[in-house]
Structure 1
Amino acid sequence: MNVTIVDYNSGNISSVINSFTEVAKGTVNLEVTSDLNKIKSSDKVVLPGQGSFKSCIDALNSINGLTDILNEFVINKKKPLFGICVGLQMFADVGYEETETKGLGWIPGKVSKIDNKNGEYKLPHIGWNQINIVKDSKIFKDVENNSHMYFVHSYEFIPEDKDVISATTDYSSKVVCSVEKDNILGTQFHPEKSDKIGLKIIKNFINI
């Protein structure tokens, strides 16, 4: 089985690569690439994202044909894709970080700044926080509710259809921290920085 981590120059993804390499060793063929043919022929794709919504969308769009290949992979072929942090946020129709920016439009919704209650809550939301699993999800197999995951973000994905939400975390409000819609999965937290439970989530994705 071929699993591809999309490397589109969106910041440092070494911890993502290291974690997936650790979980995948001896079982799957892991590629880190922006090569369109390799992405197209993959069985599963990982879409990381660091920095702002706009910078990640711009970086995706700067590689000619990449968004088309991802659309075909996800929408037409319905193969599993896992978005991490801004990788998840880009599923939305639109994001409002820096400026209004069109997203990939895979899951209707928007990405807005977390309401910090007039400074009561610090932004970015950094560090360990508990997740509340709200529906069965393929990536939460054998993961206990209220497990702690590692977060770094100031913006949150607000999907129109609440049924796609698989987990939330409490930070000023119930912030969406995981979604699943058919073959499209994503986490706002960083599984690659969330110790053994994070590795379990990565393994669950690889095992889908």
Structure 2
Amino acid sequence: MSTTVGIVDYGMGNHASVEHTLRDLGFRVRISADAAVLNETDVLLLPGVGAFPSAMKALHERGLVSYLQEKARSQSKIIGICLGMQLLASASYEHRYTTGLDLIPGDVMPLPDAKWHIGWNTIECVKTSPLLQASDGHPFYFNHSYVYRGPDEYQIGIARNPQPITAIIRRGNVIGLQFHPEKSQAAGKELLRNIITGLIHA
């Protein structure tokens, strides 16, 4: 039976492109904010485009904050992409201080000099992980002006702009990608496949 990925629908996110990529990779996809539907999936994926405070408000309104926290406690597999990765953190200072899901300790801070990190960039693996084999030397697409700052133990991949920027974080079965694998051509698709299958067989 093929793996089913549950895209968490909280009203903000690039669902269509993520769904298309996942289906291209042979995964089944469910898009829902309903816990009963999401519970029938193998991996939860938290997409996101927009502002952190609005995203957390939307998650609270749908009862998804406590749901995702409980799923993480029960060792469920969770992937966050771009804003979805930032939501995994303890808090953000985007516009104002806002608490996050707190699945991976750390805060989301503005990039220096209010700069955006937009475009293609390679990733350096700072911790060995079989999940990241497809990332070696390939460029991935970034588009963000805030970045995760947290304990080194959770940072497994960085990009440079030119200063180091956290690109991949992981705590147990929860992993976050600051870039967009669904917009990163063949390398992005292969990396997403590796991460999902690696989490399933962990």
Is this a same-fold pair by TM over 0.5?
yes
Contact 2:84 2:176 (C-alpha < 8 Å) held by counterparts? yes
Tell me by how many angstroms 1:42 deviates: 2.1
Contact 1:93 1:110 (C-alpha < 8 Å) held by counterparts? yes
Letter in 1 for 2:136: N
Tell me by how many angstroms 1:146 deviates: 2.9
* Residue 176 of structure 2: aligned partner: 186
Letter in 2 for 1:3: V
* Residue 84 of structure 2: aligned partner: 87
CA distance in 1, matches of 2:167, 2:67: 26
Segments of structure 1 that go 5 or more residues without pairing to the other structure are none
Q: Does 1:8 align with 2:7?
A: no
Match of 2:116 among 105, 124, 127: 124
Contact 1:39 1:69 (C-alpha < 8 Å) held by counterparts? no
Tell me by how many angstroms 1:138 deviates: 4.4
- SS of the equivalent of 1:202 reads helix
Q: How many residues end up aligned between the 2 structures?
A: 196
Contact 2:78 2:173 (C-alpha < 8 Å) held by counterparts? yes
* Residue 98 of structure 2: aligned partner: 101
CA distance in 1, matches of 2:97, 2:86: 13
User: Structure 1 residues 172, 60: closer, same or farther in 2, change over 3 A?
Assistant: same
Match of 1:69 among 67, 70, 83: 67
CA distance in 2, matches of 1:92, 1:177: 13
Contact 1:45 1:82 (C-alpha < 8 Å) held by counterparts? yes
Match of 1:134 among 101, 126, 137: 126
CA distance in 2, matches of 1:71, 1:100: 20
What is the TM-score when the length of structure 2 is the normalising length? 0.91
- SS of the equivalent of 2:65 reads helix
Tell me by how many angstroms 1:55 deviates: 1.5
Letter in 2 for 1:33: S
Tell me by how many angstroms 1:97 deviates: 0.5
CA distance in 2, matches of 1:114, 1:172: 11
* Residue 29 of structure 2: aligned partner: 30
Contact 1:133 1:146 (C-alpha < 8 Å) held by counterparts? no
User: Structure 1 residues 144, 4: closer, same or farther in 2, change over 3 A?
Assistant: closer
The two structures, once aligned, show a CA RMSD in angstroms of 1.5
* Residue 47 of structure 2: aligned partner: 48
- Pairwise mapping of residues 142-161 of structure 1 onto structure 2 (< 5 A)? 143-159=134-150, 161=151
Runs of 4+ residues over 4 Å off in structure 1: none
CA distance in 2, matches of 1:146, 1:109: 27
* Residue 164 of structure 1: aligned partner: 154
Q: Which range is displaced more, 195-204 or 130-139? A: 130-139
CA distance in 2, matches of 1:81, 1:127: 25
Identity of aligned residues (%): 33
* Residue 206 of structure 1: aligned partner: 196
CA distance in 2, matches of 1:20, 1:138: 20
Tell me by how many angstroms 1:29 deviates: 2.8
User: Structure 1 residues 144, 94: closer, same or farther in 2, change over 3 A?
Assistant: closer
What is the TM-score when the length of structure 1 is the normalising length? 0.89
